[in-house]
Each structure stands twice: as C-alpha cells, then as structure tokens.
Homo-oligomer: A and B are copies of this chain.
C-alpha cells in the first residue's frame, strides 16, 4: 500500500479521506494549517500508528516539500472553500487555491512524487449550456473567483502531467454533505434555526437547483477511480471526473427535509432573485457517466445525505462556534 500525503487533512472532506485511507491500510501523512481544519476531525486518525499529522501552510513551499518527503501519492484538498465571499477578498482564492496548488506540484516535483488527486468543483462549468453537464462540456466562462482559482489549479496540474509525466485525477465535485460538514447552506440554515426556529432567511427565491453528494460516497468514488494498491510507476495521464448523484433538488426541497427532520415549520424570508449571490449558479447538475464507468454507485440519495448531515450537526453543535 501507498504512503499518502493529504493536504487539508483536518478539513471536512480531507479528514474523511484520511480515515478511509487508514481503513484501507495506507500510511497517511496529514497536512493542515488549521485555518479552517478542526482538531476534532483528526482525533480518530491520530489513534492510528499509520497516521502522522503535520502543521503547515501551502504557501511555504520549503516546509511543504520537507513534509511530503517519502510519500507516493498526494491528495490535494486544502483550499479556500468560501465560495460566496470571494468578492470580499479576491486574493484569497488566488493564493489558497491557485498558488497553493502550484506549490503542491513543485513540492511533488522536488520529491519525485508524480501521482496526485485534486478536489476541483462543478462550478468551473460556470452557467453551463449543457445540463446534466459532462466533463467535455463547451469551454465555459467563469462566474466566480472560487471556480476561476480551481480552474487555474486544474490547468497547472494538467500542464505538469504533460510536462513532467505526472499522473493526476481531477474531481469536479458538486456540493458535498455528511459527517464533519461545516460550511454551506445546510450549515447556514441549521445555524439560523438554532437561533430562531420560527424564521429562516433564504438567499434568492429558493428555486435554485443544486446537486449534492454524500461525503462517504464521494470518498468511495475517488478510490474507485484511483488505484492505490500498487506502488507502480506513475502513468503519464490526467483524468477528469465529475462527482455527484444522478439527481438534483431545489433549495426549497432541502429546507423542507431539514425542517421535517427537526420538526420545525419556520416562515421563509426569501431575499428574491434567481440566485443567492453574485456568481451563484441557479442550476448545477453534473453528468456522472464517466465515474460510474469505474463501477462506482452512490449509496445515499440527496434527501438521505441532507438528513444525515442535519443529524450530524445536531450531535455536533460545537462546529457552529468554530466558524
């Protein structure tokens, strides 16, 4: 089994990947700057002798390269995931998503590590003209700094594959839900309902259609696409996969599932308009034919994923104090 380096190891998706990799028998080096990562999310992993946690910043290339030494494979998940607030601090996406990805690639090159998985986003399709949107959809126009910075990361990775013989797996996620979920609209809605169970402010008209994927299904999909069992030589290739379920729901749907589960019936205060914020995409639904070709199928529906998320938030209300 491989020795795997995970950036963003204490984050929502990263920490779930770490736990699964340990279950599968990998040795894992976790890397996080704990700007949004949570100690609690790696508590389980730290009980394993196969896990080592290192603190550091992706913008410090020298430390990053040192931490990565001896690993065979890199999952690069560390990112600024504040999609909505890009316009308030445009440099954050550039630094934490684009430049950080460049540093990860350079650190790999210094260590002669050539295999990589990257968490990109379905937002790189902008307002897609083809829905459900396949990986080879028409060349998009970017609509958010977040997606632009992830697209820039994709391009860098692809150029390293071509130029330096890297083997990369780029995953374009829909919104991910599940255990350790700690930002996004379900988080925001629950937080509001904790403060006032009778009223819920919703950005936009609530008719925005989005797709979601349960985090354990997300991790399974990645491990279906990547072979971690052999320490084989890197194959020069770059694969892009959409990750999501064959379905979508409206914001109103998810509100009704959340409220049913919590036994609440708040009055909705809709801010209006067909999108929640500048750069919000009113309809995201990805074609996941390619990843299904690996034999992977999601186990949870969107509704089940929403409910599982709310149940986890209910048991872990401490996360609301941490953001």
Residues in chain A within 8 A of chain B (CB atoms): 86-87, 90-91, 94, 98-99, 102, 105-106, 125-126, 129, 135-145, 147-149, 151-152, 154-156, 158-160, 162-164, 238, 240, 278-279
Contact = CB atoms under 8 A, between A and B. Distances in A.
Given A91-B102, A98-B98, A147 B159 contact: yes
Contacts of A149: 155
A155 B164 contact: no
A138 B137 contact: yes
A159 B143 contact: yes
Report copies per complex.
2
A160 B86 CA distance: 10
A92 to B, nearest CB: 12
A297 to B, nearest CB: 25
Interface of A is mostly: helix
Given A91-B102, A136-B138, A155 B158 contact: no
B141 A138 contact: no
Contacts of A136: 129, 138-139
B98 A152 contact: yes
A139 B145 contact: no
A236 to B, nearest CB: 10
A164 B139 CA distance: 22
A102 B99 CA distance: 12
Nearest to A155: B148
Sorted from nearest, which 9 A-B pairs have the closest CB atoms? A148-B155, A152-B152, A142-B158, A136-B138, A142-B155, A148-B159, A143-B162, A145-B159, A87-B163
Contacts of A163: 86-87, 90, 144-145, 278-279
19 contacts: A87-B164, A91-B106, A94-B102, A126-B158, A138-B138, A139-B140, A141-B240, A142-B158, A142-B159, A145-B163, A147-B159, A148-B158, A151-B152, A151-B155, A152-B155, A159-B279, A162-B279, A163-B278, A163-B279
Contact of A162 (B99, B142, B158, B240): B142
Nearest to A240: B141
A140 B99 CA distance: 21
A139 B142 contact: no
Contacts of A155: 142, 147-149, 151-152
A278 B164 CA distance: 9
A290 to B, nearest CB: 13
